Amino acid sequence: MLPSALNDVIETLGRLPGVGPRTAERYAYYLLKADESISLNIAKSLAKLHSEVKTCPITFALIDSENTVSPLYDDPSRDKDTILVVEEPLDIYAIEHTKSYHGTYHVLGGAISPMDGITADQLHIKELIDRVEKDNVTEIIIATNPSVEGESTAVLLEKLLHEKYPDLQITRLARGLPLGISLEYADQITLTSALNNRTKI
């Protein structure tokens, strides 16, 4: 009943995560009313997404397909003796925005989650362990998410790394009060961590 080209857009946009038929309809109708260049630009960028982005074979970060390894690894000014371990490639950019870290990264590719069928051997853990020796790493910073899955993954990583390299320093991101959250809204676990890890002023 709808013009078939409009229907196609509603159906294909409906494949995006969290986009139901009503939202897809709203997007499609907006694009139809807007200048054609907006639709064409989205189309052009999506057409080359997979062909122009690949995964770094060492750090598993996302890189331009013309690069061989991640520029954040290749750059000689980055400290190769420190690796910050994250779950997903985009987590790297959250850390980079802080401009407070100068080591390298390692992307696990997720976190252990029996519910979603993600086991330890699907993550890039072996490659991380190999990197420690290869790059003479002295510190691993575990920056998995503060979720059940992220915590379990952190515990496992710590165990595996410590078994193989007893002298390796293994740290994780501090838990505490985030900026702008008042005490009464902070959860108990965060508040306990903030109290236990209090710093001298």
Footprint of a second copy (CB under 8 A):
1-6, 8-9, 11-13, 15-18, 25-32, 34, 36, 38-53, 62-65, 88-90, 93, 96
In the bound complex, what is the minimum distance in angstroms from residue 200's beta carbon to a second copy?
Answer: 35
Q: Which residue number, 16 or 148, has a Cβ lying nearer to a second copy? A: 16
Q: Which residue number, 54 or 172, has a Cβ lying nearer to a second copy? A: 54
In the bound complex, what is the minimum distance in angstroms from residue 170's beta carbon to a second copy?
Answer: 27
Residue pair 122/166 in contact by the 8 Å Cβ criterion: no
Q: Which residue number, 61 or 83, has a Cβ lying nearer to a second copy? A: 61
93: number of Cβ within 10 Å: 12
Terminal CA-CA length for the chain: 68
Q: Which residue number, 11 or 130, has a Cβ lying nearer to a second copy? A: 11
Residue pair 172/154 in contact by the 8 Å Cβ criterion: yes
In the bound complex, what is the minimum distance in angstroms from residue 183's beta carbon to a second copy?
Answer: 27
Contacts of 150 (CB under 8 A, 6+ apart): 87, 111, 144
User: Which tokens go with 104?
Assistant: 């390298």
The secondary structure of residue 171, as a DSSP letter, is: E
In the bound complex, what is the minimum distance in angstroms from residue 120's beta carbon to a second copy?
Answer: 19
